[in-house]
Structure 1
Amino acid sequence: MTKVLHIHPETPQPRLVREAVEVLRGGGLIAYPTDTTYALGCGIGEKAALDRLVRLRRLDDKHQFTLLCQDLSALAPYAKVENSDYRLLKAHTPGAYTWILRGTNEVPRRLMHPKKRTIGIRVPEHVICQALLAEMGEPIMTSTLLLPGDEYPLTDPVDIRNVLDGHVDLIIDGGFGGMTETSVISLADGTGPEVIRAGAGALDSIH
């Protein structure tokens, strides 16, 4: 049976945050709220947890994985960023954006796009996410909680519990989530931002 932690979305209880991070460090797979939708997450090097996530979402080998980072300094070991792109990132983080960047050798090969060698980077504006990342001390591998056959991500913690019970190790109930995913912006080819997906992040200032 999957454990459920009710963590306050504005004042996360430190004891419960530590408990959630212990699950991540122990190789577990969790469902948790972000500033856009609920997501699935695991530790960067946890291959078994990642394999479970892939099976749960039925992802193919071309899926672009994302690292959830506490701030821009946390992405430095994992992604290559040009100075001009860094200014754009700084102006839009934290926020509802996923940035596609060229990955470094620190990123496990299974997380990078097999041909493009890219990795998604996301700095969330959500108190629970930030508390998890601060306690974790490193990025979390993350993927939207959008299950096969569903048009929208699951938003109601009760529904999430009913659907995911037995499939994940922990569900963080932080209240209702959103249905709109992040805006995805690629900076991978060095020619300026390319909008891959329009989502929750405003695009009028992306140039």
Structure 2
Amino acid sequence: MAEFVRIYEENPNPREIDRVVAVLKRGGLIIYPTDTVYGLGCDINNIKALERVAQIKGIKLEKANFSFICHDLSHLSDYVKQIDTATFKILKRALPGAYTFILPGSSTLPHPFKKKKTVGIRIPDNTIALEIVKKLGNPIISTSIHDEDEVIEYTTDPELILEKWDNLVDLVIDGGYGDNEASTVIDLSGDEPEILREGKGSLEIF
């Protein structure tokens, strides 16, 4: 049975944030709100937890394209190769926001991601998600829980999410109704920015 925690985005209760972080630190999986759809996540440094997420998604961990949820751009150098000024300016303009940016991965990536040439970075415009990552002290991985085929209600209503995921995860955060539009995915790892998926994030950042 998953814990069900109500957290308000305007003013997240530090005690509730601590409760979520404790679950992550012991290798638990959480479902949490972002500025787009609800996400399934775990501590980026916990291999067992990462393997559980990959298993739920039906993929091998080393093949998984999870996004890293960071608190701000200061964490980037741990996961991303040196980026040029133009790229940094785009990130500064767009984040926090409803974007996933594909960037060249650094050699210091956590073990399961070592062979990855690129990583997806997210800094969502959602106080709950940002406070969790800040308190944890490192990113969490994220994969959205929406159905690829269609957007259905259980991906936006926390109580329905709990019903569906109760036996698969350790904690579900009720942060209010989620959005049902995914993030805009932009690949900044090549010479020119490439839009891989148009979602909630506006393309007027260029």
Q: TM-score, normalised by structure 2?
A: 0.92
Equivalents in 1 of 2:181, 2:111: separation in Å? Answer: 29
Equivalents in 1 of 2:47, 2:137: separation in Å? Answer: 19
Select between 151-160 and 7-16 the one with higher mean Cα deviation. Answer: 151-160
Equivalents in 2 of 1:109, 1:35: separation in Å? Answer: 28
1:1-20 aligned within 5 A: 1-20=1-20
Deviations 1:71-100 (A, max 9, x none): 111112111222210011111111000000
| C-alpha distance 175-97 of structure 1, shift in aligned 2 (>3 A) | same
1:35-114 aligned within 5 A: 35-59=35-59, 62-80=63-81, 81-111=83-113
Q: CA deviation at 1:146?
A: 2.6
| C-alpha distance 150-58 of structure 1, shift in aligned 2 (>3 A) | farther
Equivalents in 2 of 1:150, 1:24: separation in Å? Answer: 29
8 Å contact from structure 2 (residues 54, 64) kept in 1: no
Q: CA deviation at 1:49?
A: 1.2
What one-letter code is carried by the residue in structure 2 that aligns with 1:19? Answer: R
Which residue in the other structure is 2:202 paired with? Answer: 202
8 Å contact from structure 2 (residues 31, 38) kept in 1: yes
| C-alpha distance 74-122 of structure 1, shift in aligned 2 (>3 A) | same
Equivalents in 2 of 1:62, 1:137: separation in Å? Answer: 25
Equivalents in 1 of 2:200, 2:160: separation in Å? Answer: 22
Structure 1's consecutive aligned runs of 4 or more residues displaced over 6 angstroms after TM superposition are none
Aligned-residue CA RMSD (Å): 1.7
Identity %: 40
What one-letter code is carried by the residue in structure 1 that aligns with 2:98? Answer: A
Higher helix share: 2
What one-letter code is carried by the residue in structure 2 that aligns with 1:39? Answer: G
Which residue in the other structure is 1:152 paired with? Answer: 151
Paired residue total: 202
Q: CA deviation at 1:156?
A: 0.5
8 Å contact from structure 1 (residues 10, 127) kept in 2: yes
Residue 200 of structure 1 aligns to a residue whose secondary structure is: coil
Q: CA deviation at 1:126?
A: 0.5
Q: CA deviation at 1:150?
A: 4.9
Select between 50-59 and 193-202 the one with higher mean Cα deviation. Answer: 50-59
Structure 1 residues not aligned, in runs of 5+: none
Deviations 1:32-74 (A, max 9, x none): 0001110011111212111211222223554422110111111
